Amino acid sequence: MFPLSRTPFRRRTATAVAVLGAALALTATTAVGADAAPKPGKDRVNIQPGDAYMGVGQRIHEGKPADDPSMGIMAPTDGVQGIDVSNWQGAINWGSVRNAGIQFAWIKATEGTSFKDAQFNTNYVNAYNAGVIRGAYHFARPDISSGATQANYFASSGGAWSRDNLTLPGALDIEHNPYGAMCYGLSTTSMRNWIADFYNTYKARTSRDAVIYTTASWWNTCTGNWSGMGSLSPLWAAHWGVSSPTIPAGFPTWTVWQYTSTGSVPGVSGNTDRNQFNGSRDRLLALANNT
């Protein structure tokens, strides 16, 4: 016969319960993870082509993890507040977003010349129905096709514009390359030409000046401190955890400021990019309606 264990029964029972509890917790965590929509977080750095989102290049190239507490420092939440979203936020309750005081949003539509965001059609319609002034944005890939090609793809895939009091001009998200070399392998002259090509084509298609989303560090490095867009495109400056954004070369001021990537908004799961418009709601409507 095997010798009986000398471990007290009560201790053995407690150990078994603890093991069972840990196993159940692991199972529950796995199940939730499998069913939940993707949410912003550190894992958003490990992306595949088509999955880029506003700020991912800054996070990778400037070494800013998504859970860095300093990135949660927020500008005053008065004034005209907005968000930007993509498929990473999963399903969004736009009614709750609007009721929380969010007045505008830019929604990812396209990337490069073949990727359309899986949540774009749903987000674009639902934001409109909730009364959120919204626009579409395109994640630039200057390494794979011309600016004109990508502007046409964007305009044909959700990035167009209409004077309906709720549609903002399209935005060009041009930032650190999340898939490789910071400036996408282009010289400063080639990058300038690419941006101008996109801008001119988008304006010809929509009659609107594309908004440019970028960071001062990327713009000044990859365009060589170019001032060529300052009088043409409204600037959407990305600069987190500061009291005011650094302005890229050539732009007189910022029109929109993305001040954190770790904001929180009712109706949106997980971290959310928060933005402030530089002006009153009347001026936001003027931007939307080209007046």
Alpha-carbon Rg for the chain in angstroms? 23
Q: Is 84 a catalytic residue?
A: yes
Task: Choose, from 84, 111, 117, 209, the residue flagged as catalytic.
Answer: 84
Q: Could you tell me the two tokens for 40?
A: 């912003």
CB atoms inside a 10 Å sphere around CB 3: 5
Q: Is 173 a catalytic residue?
A: yes
Q: Is 62 a catalytic residue?
A: no
Distance, CA of 26 to CA of 141 (rounded, Å): 40
Distance, CA of 50 to CA of 144 (rounded, Å): 12
- Which residue, chain included where needed, has tokens 């009153």? 280
Task: Choose, from 51, 111, 117, 175, the residue flagged as catalytic.
Answer: 175
Task: Choose, from 51, 117, 173, 209, the residue flagged as catalytic.
Answer: 173
Distance, CA of 64 to CA of 68 (rounded, Å): 7
Which residues are known catalytic residues? Answer: 84, 173, 175
